[in-house]
Chain A
Amino acid sequence: MVTATLILLSLLVPLLTALGIALAGRWPNMREGVTLTGALLLALVVYSLLPPVLAGERPEFTLLDMMPGISLAFRVEPLGMMFAGVAAFLWPVNSLYSIGYMRGNQEQHQTRFYICFAIALFAAMGVAFAANLVTLFVFYEILTLSTYPLVTHKGKSSLKAGRVYLGILLFTSIGLLLPAIIWTWQATGTITFTPGGILGGKVSGVALTALSVLYFYGIGKAALMPIHRWLPAAMVAPTPVSALLHAVAVVKAGVFTVIKVAVYVFGLETLQSAPGIEWLLYVAGFTILVASTIALYQDNLKRRLAYSTVSQLSYVVLGAAILAPISIVGATLHIVAHAFGKITLFFAAGSIYTAAHKTEISQLNGIGYRMPWTMGAFTIGALSMIGVPPAVGFISKWYLLMGAFEAHQYLAFGIIIVSTLLNAAYFMPIIYAAFFRPEAPGKPDDYGHGEAPWPIVVALCITAGMTLVLFLFPEIPYQLAIQVGR
């Protein structure tokens, strides 16, 4: 019963935090205090769910019955625990960062910003712990809607991007995901996530493949090409949003759902039986390579990171598409690995913007000496993206490769090789420019800056440190991932 309360709390805490922020909106210090307290509390709540889940418990909680046979219900299983754990860990860090960033850049509407953030976290928790497809869908949509004001934070100039963002996410989820869910319900009479899947024996043949298309393209947040456009568009948001939401919570909700659907709705064996299911592998591979290539040509740092995210998300999808239990482990771990790595990179981008007001890579020459911590963290994050030790990206790549060999998907191996090179090709020049190119001569006041405000630096050091720590001590995510793959 205690665990059920914890689930409820994990939803309530962010909601109450949002309320508290609204009430404290007039006093910035108090407002930020509420955010931080809420974030830390959430982390506490979520992490107290971890031991029972690791021990094999699956806490459940039903909030209310929505329709006959369909309820808003929650069930904590390892994959959701992993996702929630990552989001809950990063929220306090990101809050700290946001404080530095939003104040450093004198952004408008900060109260609204923090409220929406808290609601987005509420939605992320709901997605993570959803026990059935409808609950997941509900929170998935809340996540979309609550992040819309964040994307359009800058007002009219971000309107077009916001349209793309909302348009693609709502179109795919309502147009594809919803019918897929209803189809599943119609075919099986259940929508509850079940280990081994629920569609086995109920839907088969081409219909199964069609259903997989509906699902995996319906999950627009996974940003498979060609419906990835919302993600680069979302980069108009303030950097903390890009960092926690568009590198972690929102996009991970997407790939998380992909794994969840693959494992708990289809079931790997059922998916294997679908004719032409390789399409997912091809699409994921295509996305990985093409997005990386596009990233190569982006001069805007955040856009490059965004395309990198598109590519990295497809690593997770690739892991699911390989359809081997071990690749699922890899995909699950990649959710964690990419989260910590990419949030570090975005933090660094925001740090640069705050301290130096630079957004383009071509402006970054020599910045490593002015902002050693920022660029040091960036380096670690980039290494994690490339997947080289001693960063956690290596571990997920390890299991993805192992899955590829287990399932004899040598194509996947080839994709990972090329993608590693592309990753290096678009990240390393940034590091090089920061540390080895001399600063361009300019007006002296252009270069009067040093590091960003301390909350920013602390936050990005924590996340960069975590990519190293998780490499050295991967035990907890590994145990969770193994339970998913099993």
Chain B
Amino acid sequence: MSEFPFPPGLVLFLGAFLLPQVQGKARTALVLGLPLLALVLIWSLPAGSTITLQFLQYALEPVSATAVGRLFATVFALAAFAGGLYGLWRAEPDGQGGYQLREGNVLELGAAYAYAGSAIGVTFAGDLITLFIFWELMALSSTLVLWSNSNDNPKAYGASMRYLLVHLAGGVILMGGIVWQVYASGSTAFVNMSELDSGAHWLIMAGFLINAGAPPLSAWVADAYPEASPSGMVFLSAFTTKTAVYVLLVGFAGAQVLIYIGLYMVFYGIFYALMENDMRRILAYSIVNQVGFMVTAIGIGSALALNGAAAHAFAHIIYKALMLMSAGSVLALTGQRKCTELGGLFRYMPLTAVFGIIGSLAIAAFPFTSGFVTKSLETSAAAYAGLVPAWFLLLTASAGAILYIGFKFPWFVFFNRDSGLHPPEAPRHMLWAMGFCAFLSIGIGVFPEPLYALLPHQPVDYQAYTIDHLVTQFQLLLFAAAAFFLLLPQMQVTPTISLDFDWFYRKLLKYLAREFSLKTMDARRLLEHRTLQRTEKMAERLYHRYGPQSVFARTWPSGVMVLWVAVLLAGSLVLYYLR
């Protein structure tokens, strides 16, 4: 390749600014070409750090290729490609049973590519400062993705602001941690900090975890992502949480606390998805659930677990993108997101449904899908590490995956009752994008070896396709599915949302702020009123005392002055006499 190792993230990031400048075919070429170019660069860079920049008193290594970084960068580029393809045009129902296509939202595409570029930038960051810079760029560009949809979705703005604030909070906590770490260690190196023996480490981990959707701020995922456009959510789901997984993987592999946090996230996702009505919010909760698996694996910290986390992230991005594309097509062509309003679309959007089902099967880790060959690495790792409760819980969650999403999503959207909606099949470019993801999901499921070869800890000593594994997995999933059908009456969707931690800042804080501002306003008014009154009174008194008619200003008869003279003289004489 070229002599100058061009940062692959920067290609996408800068390319994003070109997007609005071009039209038509050139734009299509750019949208599809940029991620591929990035992909080429990702794999053409030599391992290790290739550039050193001086920034303040620190040496930065903005381009530093590692195996795990490359793995994430690769999947980010793939996701950008698929999302770009999916978002090239926007489909809208034309009211006559068909649809019309409009140019894709170029602002969103640009923002998304900048976002993807920043995410890739994080994976190539050789030091904490570079990492943080790209981290913040991610927060900003992802907010732009949400903003781009605000004309179509009035809820997007509020959600985006909450999203941004959560991420800026995470960002500044992370920054604090990094500053502390740099100050304490004198080095900007991004090293493993899993001993958590300084406040800096805790802060850095907290910053990472906020982006991963960890408690208590998990609510931002389901709050913000579903408000993006169909293509927007594809991008959003791919990068932020997965970069968090990446940095946790590098920085906190083996930090035991992550096991608990991860397990919490797993069940948080399940329960909230079970209660949820909005199909895209279900998918959002499932992101938290899936990232929870990865975080748990990172907490376990064995080579197998870490490989599992990496592989799972890789597979997850693709099948989650697939599901979101499927859901996005439904949303685009029906205008509906709520399960209570959807159903029976199988007949009208058969391909969309099939792709959605493939995604669902993958997320449920059905054999011959990518979920099967990646998630099992994590559960096995828990088993091999002898973590009894963790393993049982993960197994429960694996079974639950069928329940809350694997079957719930396709069932309520594509089957169940007929909703009366008769949308057309999704447009071709969307189907191609879904097909691409479905192909990867199944391809990885059938031939896991190429993916395994990319994993950070080599050699990967794991065989997914054993009889035992196949049998137990089928048993688990099919009986879970049986439970699903059996419990369907208990799982009917309701037009509700579920309270979450965001209640505190959406309701309580707002309430407190309003109360506070009302009360302080009253207090201020009262204070101002009183001060005004007092000042007026004082001014009056002062005027009375010092004004033109006052004692001091009046023209006194000479006698008074003489009296004063007498008083003063007599006074001092008497005083001197008495002394």
Contacts and interface: CB of A to CB of B under 8 A. Distances in A.
Are A and B in direct contact (Cβ within 8 Å)? yes
A405 B133 contact: no
Interface string A450-483: 0000000000000000000000001000100000
B470 interface: no
15 contacts: A383-B140, A390-B137, A397-B175, A401-B176, A402-B179, A405-B176, A416-B176, A417-B173, A421-B168, A425-B161, A425-B165, A429-B161, A432-B160, A436-B151, A437-B150
A394 B139 CA distance: 15
A398 B175 contact: yes
Contact of A405 (B136, B147, B150, B179): B179
Nearest to B149: A436
B486 interface: no
Contact of A389 (B132, B150, B160, B172): B132
Contact of B164 (A406, A424, A437): A424
B161 A428 contact: yes
B171 interface: yes
A421 B175 contact: no
Given A390-B133, A421-B169, A402 B157 contact: no
A413 interface: yes
Interface of B: 55-57, 132-133, 136-137, 139-140, 143, 147-148, 150-151, 157, 160-161, 164-165, 168-169, 171-173, 175-176, 179-180, 182-184, 200, 517
Contact of B172 (A326, A390, A420, A425): A420
Contacts of A402: 179-180, 182-183
Contacts of A56: none
B524 to A, nearest CB: 11
B175 A405 contact: no
Contacts of B183: 326, 402, 405-406
Contacts of A388: 136, 139-140, 168, 171
B168 A474 contact: no
Contacts of B139: 388
A199 to B, nearest CB: 29
A437 B157 CA distance: 10
Contact of B165 (A297, A421, A437, A478): A421
Interface of A: 297, 326, 383, 386-390, 394-395, 397-398, 401-402, 405-406, 413, 416-417, 420-421, 424-425, 428-429, 432, 435-438, 474, 478
Contacts of A383: 140
A413 B175 CA distance: 10
B165 A424 contact: yes
A436 B150 contact: yes
A59 B53 CA distance: 33
Q: Which of B137, B172, B182 has the most CB of A within 10 A?
A: B172
Contacts of A386: 168
A436 to B, nearest CB: 5
B173 A432 contact: no
Contacts of A436: 147-148, 150-151, 157
B172 A416 contact: yes
A295 to B, nearest CB: 13
A472 to B, nearest CB: 8
A416 B173 CA distance: 10
Classify the secondary structure of B's interface with A: helix
A401 B179 contact: yes
Contact of A417 (B57, B169, B517): B169
B173 A474 contact: no
Contacts of B172: 387, 416-417, 420-421
B175 A478 contact: no
Given A388-B136, A402-B182, A436-B150, A413 B168 contact: no
Contacts of A420: 168-169, 171-172
A366 to B, nearest CB: 11
A117 B474 CA distance: 80
A3 to B, nearest CB: 28
Contacts of A424: 164-165, 168
A383 B141 CA distance: 12
Contacts of A395: 56
Given A390-B133, A421-B168, A432-B157, 16 more contacts: A383-B140, A388-B136, A389-B137, A390-B137, A397-B175, A401-B179, A402-B179, A405-B180, A413-B176, A420-B172, A421-B172, A425-B165, A429-B161, A436-B147, A436-B151, A436-B157
Contacts of B55: 474
B164 A428 contact: yes
A428 B146 CA distance: 13
B414 to A, nearest CB: 34
Contacts of B165: 421, 424-425
Contacts of A432: 147, 150, 157, 160-161
Closest 6 A/B residue pairs (Cβ): A389-B133, A401-B179, A388-B136, A405-B180, A420-B172, A402-B179
A337 B151 CA distance: 34
- Most B Cβ at <10 Å: residue of A395, A398, A406, A438: A398
Contacts of A387: 172
A3 B394 CA distance: 73
Contact of A438 (B151, B160, B168, B179): B151
Contacts of B133: 389-390, 394
A291 B165 CA distance: 18
Contacts of A416: 172, 176
A265 to B, nearest CB: 27
Nearest to B140: A388
A398 B132 CA distance: 11
A394 B56 CA distance: 12
B89 to A, nearest CB: 21
Contacts of B182: 402
A425 B513 CA distance: 14
A127 to B, nearest CB: 27
Contacts of A297: 517
Contacts of B137: 389-390
B260 to A, nearest CB: 24
Given A390-B133, A405-B183, A478 B151 contact: no
A315 to B, nearest CB: 13
Contact of B56 (A413, A438, A474): A474
A388 B172 CA distance: 9
Contacts of A429: 161
A326 B147 CA distance: 38
A437 B160 CA distance: 14
A326 B182 CA distance: 13
Chain B CB within 10 A, most for which of A390, A405, A416, A432: A405
Contacts of B143: 428
B117 to A, nearest CB: 13
Nearest to B516: A293
B168 A401 contact: no
A401 to B, nearest CB: 4
A424 B161 CA distance: 9
Contacts of A389: 132-133, 136-137
Contacts of A435: 147
Nearest to B200: A405
Contacts of B150: 432, 436-437
Nearest to A482: B57
A416 B169 CA distance: 10
A365 B57 CA distance: 42
B175 A401 contact: yes
Nearest to B171: A388
Nearest to B179: A401
Nearest to A397: B175
B353 to A, nearest CB: 34
